[in-house]
Structure 1
Amino acid sequence: MSSEPVDEGKLAAVGVAALDEQLYRQLLTAPGSTLAELTSGTGIGATRARQAISRLERCGLVSRRPGVPARFIPAPPDVAVGSLIARRQDELERARLEAESLLADFHQGTRYEHTSQVVELITGQSTISQRAAQLMSGAEQEVVLFDKPPYVGAKDNPDEMDALARGVRWRAIYSTESLTEPGQLARMTAFRDAGEQARLSPVVPTKLVIVDRRLALLPLGVDGADVAQTAVLVHPSSLLSLLVTHFDGMWERSIPFDQHLNGGKPPAKSEQRVLQLLSAGLKDEAIARQLGISLRTTRRWIAHVMADRGVTTRFQLGLVVARELTS
C-alpha cells in the first residue's frame, strides 16, 4: 500500500521534518503506541519510521518506555516546541554575529583593492528593486531618500511601513512633480501618519536612498530607460559622505509637507491640502487630480482661499502662504 507525499510540515521552521511531525502528531492522540501501531496503514516503511522516531527523540519531542516492543510517549508541545524555537533563535543570533564578523573581514580585505568595492554597479530592474528592498528591510536607525518620477512598479512601500514599525527614522524629500501622480498625496499622507517625516522641493535631482548613513543606492542614468535599468550602490567613502551632506542641505531648504498654518482658526482638511499643493507650485488641473475632485470645484476652493486671505491674484496668495508656512 502506498501513501500520498507528505507536504512540508508546520514545524519545518524549527527543524522538524514533515514525516517526523506526522508521527509526533499521531503520538499526541495515541500516547504509548509502538512503532508498528503508529505506521499501521500509512505505507511508511519500517526503516524510515525508525529514523523518524530517532530524530524525534534527539530533538526532545518523544521519549520511549522500557520494554519490548518499545512504546513512545510525546513530550508536551508547549515545552518541547518552545525549546526548539529557543534553540533556533540562538542559532540565528550566532549566524548574525558571524555575518558581522565576515563583513568586517570583507571590508578589511577589499578596502583598497579596487574602486568597484566603493561603487557597485547593479543592472536590471528586478535586481535593483530586490537590492533596495534588502537595504530598507535591513535598516537599523535611519532611512533618508529623494523621491521623484518616473515610478516603476508598485508605488506603495511595505518596507517603509515595516521599518517605521521597528522604530526606524524615515525622512523623504519629494519632488513637487511627484504630486502630479494620481493618488500620490494620499500615499504621502498615509506614510506621514505612520511616522514618516516628509518635505517637498522643486529641485530634487535624482532618486536616492541612504540607509544608516553607510550605504546609498541611486540610479546611474539621469533620465530615460537607464533610470530603471542601471543603479549604483555606494559603500562607505568620501562619495557617500558627499551624498549624505547633499541630502542634509536639501532637507534644510525644503518645505515641510505637514506644516500647519499658524495663527487664526485652523483651515478645514480640504483647504490644508489645497494650500500644500498651491505652495508646491501645482496647477489647478494637477490639484484636481490629487484631490479627486472636478476642476470646477478646485477653482471654487482656490477662490475661497484667496477671498479668506484678502488677496486677488495667485501671486499674492503665494506670498501669503509662503509667509505663513515659514513664520
Structure 2
Amino acid sequence: MDDASASAYQHAVLLGRFVRAEVASALGVTEQEAGRVEEALTTLRLLRPMPGRPDELVPVSPDAAAADLVGPAEAEIREMQQAVSSVKTQMLGLLPAYFETRRRRNQAEAFDVISDVGVLQSMLDEWGTRCRVELLTSQPGGSRRPGAMETALPLTLDRLHRGVHVRHLYQHTVRSDLATTDYVRAVTAEGADVRTTDELVDRMLIYDREVAFLPEQHVEGRSPGAIVVREPTLVAFLCKVYDHMWAGAAPFTPGEEDATDIADDLKRSIIRLMAQGHKDEMVARRLGMSVRTCRRHIARIMEEMESTSRFQTGVNVALYGLLGADFSPSGAAAGEAAGLGTS
C-alpha cells in the first residue's frame, strides 16, 4: 500500500464509503489514479461491496481485511503442520525398535564393509553430526589433496563449537604444507589438538570411542571404501593404539614447533627404514614424502656421516650407535647386515 492508497482509505473511513470522484477531488489526483487506488484497496480486502448495493464500496476494518486475505493461507499452513506432525509421530514411534534391532545387529556383527564411496561419505557425515564427545583422526601422508583442508575446516570448527574434543595425528612432513598449516592454525585456535609423528600405520577415524572407520585394503579398479568397526572390544583396542601413537607424537602448533627436533626425528626414521632394507620409494611412502625429498634427506645424511656409499653409511651408523641398542649388526659387513648396503 502506497501513501495515496492509505490516504484514500482514511477518506473512505471518514465518509463511510468510497466514491471514486470524491476521492480524486479530496486527494487532488485524477480519476484514473483514484481507480488504481480503488483496485488496490479492493485487492487488499479493505473495500467491499455494500450488501444489497453491489455498486457501492464501503471500507472494512484492517483486522477483518487481514483475516479475509490470509485466512486460506493460514488454513493451508495448519493442515501442512498437522501432516508434518503426524509423519514425525509415526516415524519416531519406530525409534525404540530401530535402536533395539541395531543393538542386536551390532552384537552379531563386529564390522561392516562399505565399498560404496557415496554411502561411506553419508555415514561419515552422520557420525560427524552425532559426535558429542571426541573425534580422533590419524591421517598418514604428506600434503593433502587440493581443496581437502578448505572442505574440512568448517566441519571441524562446527564440532569444536559443539564441545567435541578433536585430535588430529599427521606425519611430520605436513609441517611444510601451507594448506595443512593454515588448517591446523585455525582449528588449534578453537581448541583442537594436533600432533605429528614420523610414521602412521594407516588412516583411522574414531567417533566418541564408539565406532571406528578404517580404510578398505587390497582394492583394485575402484576407490577404496572403509571398514566400520562397532564391536566395543575392537574399538577399545583401536583407541589404545591411537593413544599410544599420540603419546609418542610431537605437538604441532604452527609457529611454535621446534624444527630441529622434528628434523632429527625424520633423520632417525630414514636411517631405521634404510637399515631394514627398504628402498628409497618405500622409505618415502612410509614417511609421507616425495621420493625426491627422501633422496635429498638421504644425501644429507650420507654427507653428515662422511660416507660416499650406503655401505659406508651403514658402517658409520653402527659405529656411532645412531640406531640405539636394538641395532647390533655383526661382522665387518655391518652395512649389509643393516640393509644399508642394498641399492
Give the alignment's TM-score, normalised by structure 1: 0.50
Give the alignment's TM-score, normalised by structure 2: 0.48
Greater gyration radius: 2
